Each structure stands twice: as C-alpha cells, then as structure tokens.
Amino acid sequence: MRHSGRIAIVIAALSALGPFSVDTYFPSFPALAAHFSVSQIQMQSTLTAYLVALAVMNLFHGALSDSFGRRHVILAALGVYSASAAGCMWAPTFGWLLALRVIQGLAAGAGMIVSRAVIRDLFEGVEAHRLMAQVAMLTGLAPVIAPILGGWLHVWFGWRGPFGFLALFGIVLWCACRVGLPESLPAHLRHSFHPAKLARAYMSTLRQPAFMLMCLAMAIGGGGFLLYVATAPDVVLNILNLSETQFGWMFVPLVSGLILGSATSSKLAGRIESTRAVQLGFLLMAVGAGANLLVNTLTVPRILWAVFPLTIYTFGFSLVVPVLTVESLDLVPHRRGLAASLQGFSHVLVFALISSFAAPLVYRSGPKHAIGLAAMMALSYVSYIASRAASAAGRPRAKVEALEAHRGE
C-alpha cells in the first residue's frame, strides 16, 4: 500500500512553489526598487518575466518527465530553482535579478505539472480523485500564506529575506522528494526524447478534441474567478470601496471556496459517481454566478453579500477540477506528462488572455464583472458537455490510434 498522505503533502508543497514564488516578494517591491534604483513599473517586469518563463516551460516539463522519469525532472528543476532563488539574494544589478527570475520561472512549474502525472501513475479511480482534491485543498493555502509570510520576512531580513526563504523552501522540497517521492514511471514505459517524435506526440494530443475541450472547460471555469484576481485593485478599491489594507475581503472568500470545495471533493470521492460530482459542481458554479449577477445589477455591491457568491462559485469549481483533471489525463494514457503540460499551459494562457483583454472591458463595473463570470461559467459547461460527446464519439478510434502510436515509439 502506498503512503498516499505523505505523497499528497509532498505534491501539494510542489504545487505551492508557484504561488509562493509570485506572492512572497511582493512586500519587498519598494525596497527592491530603491536598492536597484529602478521604478515600480520596472520592478513589475520581474513578475512578468517570471510568468512568461513559467508559461513557456509548462509546455515541456511533462514531456521531459515522459522521457527521463518524473522524479529526475522534479529533482533537477528544484536544484535549478533553489540556486536561482539564492542568486536573487546577491544579484549585483537589476539585469541579473531579472535574468534569475526568468530562470526561476523556467524551473518552478515542474513540480506542479509533473506531480499531476505522478498522481495518475500511482493511483486509480477514486483514490486518484481523492488525492487530487487533497492536493488542491492544501495548495489553496499558499496564496493566503505567501504575502503575509513575505511581509514578515521583509521586516526581519529586508528584501533578501523572501528570496532566502524561497531558496530554503526549494532545498527542503528537494530533500523531501529525494526521500519521499517514488519514481512513478518505469524505464520501460518512457518515450524517446526525439524532437520529431515529440512533435508528433504534441500534434496527436492537440488533435484530440475531447482532451482539448476538457482542458478548456477547466481553464475557462477557473478564468471566471481569475477575472476578479486580475482586476483585484479595481474590485476592492473602486467597486467595493474598500481600502488598500482590505484586499482580504475578496481573496479570503475566493480561497475559502477553493479549499472547502477541495475538501468536500475528497470526501465525496467513492461515495457518489464522478459524473454526479461534476454536475453538482457546475450547478453550484451557476448558482454563484447567478447570485453574483443579481447582487451587482439590483444592488450596490457591498461587503459581505457582494463576495459570498464568489465563494459559492469557487466551491463548485473545486468539485469539478479534480475529476476533470484525472479524466483528461486518462484520455492520453501513454503521454500523461505531456498531457499535464498542456493542461497547465492552457490555464496560464487563459489567465493571460483574461488579464490582457477581458480585464479592461470590465473595469470599474460590478455588473460587467458579474456578466464576465457568468459567461465564463456557461462556456466552461458547454466545453465540458462537448468534451463528453467527443469522447464518446471518438473512443473506438482513439484506442486504435493509441496502440499505433505506442508501437511506433
């Protein structure tokens, strides 16, 4: 019997590395800008560079793990991550800091992406669903803890404190994975890391409508509440008329829904059919989106009722995601690492599109935010229904293609 609890903690910590890398050093922005004699806008580029590198490398971490093993890729990435985080502490110029943040971004996503494949490699059915939900629940704590911890680290150690913590966190994770994370992909199941074969594998996966639509369902469903994250200053300061110290009024309800939903999803695994769990999740997302629309169109948005519908929405979303994550990985059984990479990339891509194009459209308008949330919930559900239909229609053909692809490698 595998130690699922230990594995869940290790994988959750790996998944939390991304949020910690983004949020922990936020309180040090003014001090960093002063130290390197740059503007706040230039400091923002250290975040942008990190996110771009993270998004690009998300496409390849899983594929690398299909060829070289899950554990090897995670350990190598953690080594690079820890070294780059430590380097940020002693960066001689702003250019060096920017370059080291890019390296951090290239390495940070490995744990989050590859760990999904690890879960599906080691566990089946209900157990995989339960573990995926437990990981999501534990990971949901990171966005709340990181900025608070970063603030205290800055008070105690200055701007180098958060980077020192990230380096230490990476080292501790490396040790935990070295001792507690088994290799889940045997050598005889690995694929040759040949560019032509890898390109064919990507194209074959991208041509599977059921898989792509399921990824889209998760990405757009998450995009509904990420619209509020992307426009957080506008929502908190202009729509809710709160102060700069009251961002918790929005983030705590969002994260609470994610954590409670993930905990509930873990409890429901094996007790109700996964299809019913997904239907219940989408129903709650619809209730949250509908209530949010009513609050923003019929009243002046005020705490507490203006944020409670977001908790309902994220609660429902957390019932949906663990099931769809496992089901979509099962659609690409011989390339789970690559499939996990495409999952992660689709999420980052949708968030980038929301930040660039959707956020300006809803600025300073509670009703427009609510319409955006409702529209994304509807698109997510339509994508899910379409993925189920495509999966049912393409199941016999997919088996033949999978066998042929496996023989060809």
- Indicate if the alpha-carbon torsion angle 204, 210, 213, 217 is positive or negative: negative
For residue 387, which amino acid is it? S
Which residue has better confidence, 5 or 380? 380
Q: What is the pLDDT of residue 3?
A: 62
- Nearest partner of 328 among 222, 409, 209, 198, judged by Cα: 209
Cα–Cα nearest to 84, from 64, 99, 69, 62: 99
Name the pLDDT band for 26 (thresholds 50, 70, 90).
Answer: confident
Q: Which residue in the block uniquely carries the two structure tokens 């459209």?
A: 361
For the chain, give every residue range classified as CATH 1.20.1250.20: 1-190, 192-409
Answer whether residue 255 shows pLDDT above 70. yes
Q: What is the pLDDT of residue 209?
A: 95
**pTM (predicted TM-score):** 0.76
With H, G, I as helix, E, B as strand and everything else as coil, classify residue 272: strand
Q: Which of 355, 48, 349 has its CA nearest to residue 230? A: 355
**CATH architecture under which domain 192-409 falls:** Up-down Bundle (1.20)
pLDDT at 152 over 90: no
Q: What is the pLDDT of residue 1?
A: 41
pLDDT at 249 over 80: yes
Tell me, what's the pLDDT at 172?
Answer: 95
CA-CA distance, 139 to 166, in Å (whole number)? 16
- One-letter amino acid for residue 105 of the chain: G
CA distance 112 to 392: 29
Range name among 21-25, 228-232, 287-291, 359-363 with the lowest pLDDT average: 228-232
Q: Distance between alpha carbon 355 and the CA centroid of its chain, in Å?
A: 16
For the chain, give the mean pLDDT.
86
With 70 as the cut, is the pLDDT of residue 405 above it? no
Q: What CATH code is assigned to 1-190?
A: 1.20.1250.20
pLDDT value at position 399?
52
Helical (H) or strand (E) element with 314: helix 308-330
- Of the two residues 125 and 37, the one the predictor is more confident about is 37
Select the more confidently predicted residue: 402 or 356.
356
Instruction: Give the percent of the chain with pLDDT over 90.
Output: 38
Sequence length of the chain is 409
pLDDT at 261: 92
- How confident is the model over 330-337, as a mean pLDDT? 87
Name the 3-class secondary structure at 37: coil
Contact 352, 55 (CB under 8 A): yes
Q: Nearest to residue 67, comparing CAs of 166, 168, 194, 229?
A: 194
Residue 319 has a pLDDT of: 95
Residue 320 has pLDDT above 90, yes or no: yes
Report residue 244's pLDDT band, with 50, 70 and 90 as the boundaries.
low
